[in-house]
Amino acid sequence: MQNPQHIVTREQLEESLYAWGDEIESNAIEVFIYQLRKKIGNQSIKTIRGLGYRMNQEN
């Protein structure tokens, strides 16, 4: 949200969410994105296939 024009990769999100040595669940990022979309609007977060996520600049 701080840089809506930048794409944030799945790896960047995992590094932000988990401490070193924590086990990462396979679909945790998708669950977090789903929950965020429910709270702030489905069109607010755009999935860039193969790259990551970014805030939709049209909102």
Domains and CATH numbers, the chain: 10-55 (1.10.10.10)
Specify the higher pLDDT residue, 4 or 36: 36
Cβ contact 47:9 at 8 Å: no
Strand partners for 48: 52
pLDDT in tens, 10-59: 888 877 777 666 666 678 888 888 998 999 888 888 998 999 989 886 64
Q: What's the pLDDT at 16?
A: 78
Q: What's the pLDDT at 43?
A: 86
Which stretches does DSSP call E strand in the chain?
A: 45-48, 52-55
What's the pTM? 0.69
Q: What's the pLDDT at 38?
A: 93
d(CA 58, CA 47): 14
Strand partners for 56: none
